[in-house]
Amino acid sequence: MKRFIVITTIHEKTCGIRKFEAFPDWHLVVVGDQKTPQYKDTDNLTYLSIEKQQEMGFRIAGQLPFNHYCRKNIGYLYAISQGADIIYDTDDDNIPYDDWSFEAFSCENKLQSKDRFANVYRYFTDKPVWPRGFPLERITAEKAPPSFEKSDTRPIAVWQGLADRDPDVDAIYRLVYGELLDFENRPSVYLDRHIYCPFNSQNTLWNRIAFALMYLPVTVSFRFTDILRGYIAQRLFWAADHHLGFCRATVYQERNVHDLLSDFRDEIECYLNVPEVVEVLDNIDLVGELDRMLLAIYQGLAAAGLVQPEELGLVDTWLDDVTRALDGGRNG
């Protein structure tokens, strides 16, 4: 089984990067940008410089903007082209615990929720906290924290692992509460069909079946790109009879320096647009293969003004590149 870790950074090797590089049976891919210091390749690390990105043969490399988180897309394509079976998506300021691990891609604990949105953070802690991208109007709507019930074992497309200390919350939480926290070690759960919870790129394990859905959109803000991807992916998981799973914290975050008001500005789309995104997702008629469904969703989002029209060409290029990468992986 080929397992890859994908990170993009503008920093020298962080503690997290060094620990991930040392993982046996995993290969770390570091995606460079214009501000990234030069990394040296090692047996367990491949550095994708801008020059190397341009030489890889993926058309999207010439279309993605610089100094943007979406350049991580090239790292996903590289891992796929190398025959990846699993891709672990994380950031340079996340540090894995010594017992870092994920379960197999299956789960029998179904999160119970009567609402359209489930705040899964409240299942793993009794403290008032919510994930970045959770609808603000739903934060106080829950009458009780979520629980779970046993069910038939269901296939998991993506595991969202939590992050201790400074988890992926929004700027409003950080500005109002600013409290660091550790989550409880509670049983892993999956979300049933038609129940949404945002998931991110901080600590997520992707099954091969979902690789085409890893695309990070370009025409939305840095703080919305992985959240929008996550909502879209959940809708398509259901079409493939798979689910989103949440598990214990396997990393802790020593967060890079952020300007919280700048984060707030970049999250305006999260605060205002998520209900409209979900309305598009719920009302779109999805038929055909998974890649065609992904393009259909972006067409619906563009028609609603939630992404820019040029996103459609980028998605189409991405899907062509994924096909090319999969062919390379099979041939390799």
pTM, to two decimals: 0.96
Q: Can you give the pLDDT at residue 182?
A: 96
132-135, long-range: CB < 8 A, 24+ apart = 132/168, 132/169, 132/170, 132/198, 132/200, 132/223, 132/227, 132/267, 132/270, 133/170, 133/198, 133/200, 133/224, 133/227, 133/230, 133/231, 133/270, 133/274, 134/170, 134/197, 134/198, 134/274, 135/274, 135/275
State yes or no: pLDDT of 202 exceeds 90: yes
Mean pLDDT of the chain: 95
Confidence tier at 331 by pLDDT (50, 70, 90): low
State yes or no: pLDDT of 329 exceeds 80: no
What's phi and psi for 151, nearest 5 deg?
A: -145, -175
Q: Can you give the pLDDT at residue 328?
A: 80
Nearest in space to 221 (alpha carbons), one of 161, 173, 272: 272
Instruction: Dump pLDDT digits (tens) for 56-72.
Output: 999 999 999 999 999 99
Instruction: Dump pLDDT digits (tens) for 73-118.
Output: 999 999 999 999 999 999 999 999 999 999 999 999 999 888 899 9
State yes or no: pLDDT of 332 exceeds 60: no
